[in-house]
Amino acid sequence: MGFYFLSYPGMGLNVSEILAEVARKYSQPEEVEEMNRLFSEKSGLITPEQTLLGLYFPYPCRVLDIGCGVGREAIALAKQGYRVTGIDIAKPLVVAARRNAITENARINFQETDGLYIDMPEKSFDLVVIFSQTIEHVPTRSARITLLREARRVLVPNGFLFISAHDRYHPTMSALRSVFEIINDSGAEEGDVYLKNIQGIASAGKAFMHYSTPSEMRSELADAGFNVWQFARHTDLGGDAGMDRLFYMVCSSQSLESTL
Q: Does 10 reside within a domain?
A: no
Q: Does 9 reside within a domain?
A: no
Query: Please, what is the average pLDDT of the chain?
Result: 90
Q: Give the helix, strand, coil percentages of the chain, each rounded to 5.
A: 40, 25, 40
Q: Does 5 reside within a domain?
A: no
State residue 241's pLDDT score: 85
Could you please report the per-residue DSSP string of 181-208? EE--STTPPTTEEEES-SSSS--SS-EE
As a whole number of Å, the CA-based R_g of the chain is 17
Does the pLDDT value for residue 8 go beyond 60?
no
State residue 12's pLDDT score: 65
State residue 189's pLDDT score: 95
Q: How far apart are CA 151 and CA 240, in angstroms?
A: 28
Among left, alpha and beta (phi > 0; psi -120 to 50; other), residue 67 is left
Give the range of the structural domain holding residue 118, as residue numbers without chain letter.
15-259
Q: Residues 184-199: pLDDT tens digits? A: 887 899 999 998 876 6
| Counted domains in the chain | 1
Q: Does 120 reside within a domain?
A: yes
Question: If you average pLDDT over residues 221-235, what whole number do you get?
Answer: 97
Q: Does 54 reside within a domain?
A: yes
State residue 256's pLDDT score: 54
User: Taking Cα atoms as reference points, which of 107, 100, 71 lies closest to residue 88?
Assistant: 71
Q: Does 133 reside within a domain?
A: yes
Does the pLDDT value for residue 29 go beyond 90?
yes
Q: Does 4 reside within a domain?
A: no
Q: Does 8 reside within a domain?
A: no
Q: Residues 97-147: pLDDT tens digits? A: 999 999 999 999 999 998 899 999 999 999 999 999 999 999 999 999 999
Does the pLDDT value for residue 15 go beyond 80?
yes
* CATH number of residue 100's parent domain: 3.40.50.150
Task: Between 98 and 202, name the one with better pLDDT.
Answer: 98
